[in-house]
Amino acid sequence: MFGYIALTILLTGSIVGSWTDIKIREVSNWLSFGLIFSMLAIRLGQGIYLGQYGYLLEAATAGFLFLSLGVILFYSGQWGGADWKLLTAYGIGFGSLWGEFSPLFEPIWPFYLTLLMNILVVSVLYTLPLALLYALRNKKVLSKCRKAVGRNENLAMLLGFGASALAVSYTGESVLWVFSLLAPLYALSKFLKPIENTYLTKLKKINELVEFDIPVKDIKVGGKLIISSEGPNGMTLANLKQLKKLEKSKKIPGTMLVKWGFPLAPAFPIGLALSLIFGDFIIAFASL
């Protein structure tokens, strides 16, 4: 019962969030935080009903791990603010598999790893083709993409491959090769950045700007930095008020180019559905 309630709430909220992410590249805080607290409440209700609080501890642990990963991706500029909040909600709600669900391919590791991997794979599958299409249209952008993946990323991929090889050799489980995908996924996010900065932008009027919008270029007035284009948090409400005053005084133009980015929110409900139906998506695909 609790599993179906969690699934209904999480999918409904995620679908709404996906729609707003696609349309305006924003998922509201009330929705993302609402999902986090809803999943905590459901897990707590499960613990009280069953008289067992181990599930709540598992959910809290998975939620913390997802939160940590999401925050790292956010502050490294790979994800938006809404993405780490959604990831946290998914970790709490489905960090462990509810008894109501039986995937076709039973996960061989904790379910939160299955869920995380499937979300990452889905996000790559629908962003990579579009990104490559953009890159091939402009040789300069393609060159920037290649430079974005430097020595550190190549070293990370090599270490990831080596660690996976050792794990497979030690355990005999060939499926552990899956972990070698983590570093390439990070390198891919670096590869996509020049494409996002070149093509995935939108010209907005100053009064159309919203909280968390990130300008393509630094906003400076009289040599003083007002808003950085590199910060992951984007514009604050105070920044928006300041920009409106600056526009009225004719110190800045009436429009601004902001980063539009790839909408990642749809990857969450799709990844969850694949996890609950098939289990490990990569294993299921390899078994066909």
pLDDT exceeds cutoff 60 at 224: yes
Provide the H-helix boundaries in the chain.
2-24, 29-50, 54-75, 81-94, 111-136, 139-148, 151-171, 182-198, 237-248, 267-277, 281-286
pLDDT tens per residue, range 227-273: 888 777 778 888 899 889 988 888 888 888 888 777 889 999 999 99
Residue 220 — pLDDT band, cuts 50, 70, 90?
confident
pLDDT tens per residue, range 11-23: 999 999 999 988 8
pLDDT exceeds cutoff 80 at 122: yes
> Long-range pairs for 152-159 at CB < 8 Å and ≥24 separation?
153/183, 153/186, 153/187, 153/190, 154/187, 156/183, 156/186, 156/187, 157/183, 157/184, 157/187, 159/183
Q: What does the buried/exposed string (b/e) look like for 267-287 if buried means 16 or more CB atoms within 10 Å of the residue's CB?
A: bbbbbbebbbebbbbbbbeee
Cross-strand partners of 205: 255
Q: Which two tokens stand for residue 56?
A: 């709540």
pLDDT confidence of residue 182: 64
pLDDT tens per residue, range 66-117: 888 888 777 766 777 788 899 999 999 998 888 888 888 776 778 888 888 8
pLDDT confidence of residue 12: 95
Across the range 207-224, mean pLDDT stands at 84
Residue 216 — pLDDT band, cuts 50, 70, 90?
confident
pLDDT confidence of residue 183: 65
pLDDT tens per residue, range 129-178: 777 777 777 667 667 766 767 666 666 666 666 666 666 666 655 555 55
pLDDT confidence of residue 164: 64
pLDDT confidence of residue 10: 95
pTM, whole model, 2 decimals? Answer: 0.79
